[in-house]
Amino acid sequence: MTHRWDEAVAANPSLFDGPTVVCAGLERKDPETLLLTWYRATYRRYALRLDPVHAVPAPSVFVTVAQPTDDGRLLVGRMAPSTAAPGRWQLPGGTVEPPAAGTVLDLEGVRRHAAREFVEEVGRDVPPGDLDLWVVTRGGKGNVGLHFRTPPCSADTLTEQYAALVTAEDAQHRVPELDRIAFIRSDADVADLGGRSADFLPLLAARHAALFDSASSRKLSLP
């Protein structure tokens, strides 16, 4: 594991071996309850997932924030070259960190983490209470995604807030985690972004488009 991690850091010196949550199991207890079991680890454990000899399962637990615009689009971002997934398009978010010793990992804590990731990557400060758990996905390598949805905002405002974030990061000689943002309407737009995308993005883009179309239909049917 140490050997694989050293190779990864040599290729990308900005990687850090911080604490992270690894999924040990995901079980549906009843129609309203998903039970996630987890353990503490550091990022170097992920380096073993692709090892041809010593591969071990280490599903990550991550959060994203789906930010719709007033005109029905969805904000997406491209990961910067300094990140663990350079060039990948996805929703803003990040890997969940373990809670403080003696405390539990609950939905409210995950919601706060999602809000923090969103302001760090996009520059928009959304109260955690405004984030609704929208979709839970199980994707590549067994990774578990908790995807939150926030109230609509104008694309101009989001663009201005992201630009202000980039300016502030540049002033501190730091590289933003997202080197670009864009707005898409549906899964059909994902391919047009160029480059690769997170495995969950087409699914969530399709669900977003269905929600917007349904809301538009309801408005048109009002007397």
Give the tens place of pLDDT for each residue, 70-128: 999 999 999 999 898 999 999 999 999 999 888 889 999 999 999 999 999 999 999 99
- Could you tell me what percentage of the chain is helix, strand and coil, using 3-state DSSP and rounding each to the nearest 5? 35, 30, 35
pTM for the whole thing? Answer: 0.92
Give yes or no for residue 40 having a pLDDT over 50.
Answer: yes
The residues spanned by each domain of the chain are 2-221
The answer to whether the CB of 112 falls within 8 A of the CB of 92 is no
Average pLDDT over residues 65-69: 98
End-to-end CA gap in the chain:
64
Q: For the residues 171-186, what does the mean pLDDT come to?
A: 95
Domain 2-221 has CATH 3.90.120.10: no
Q: Give pLDDT, residue 222.
A: 47
Under 8 Å between Cβ of 144 and 59: yes
pLDDT grade for 216, boundaries at 50, 70 and 90: low
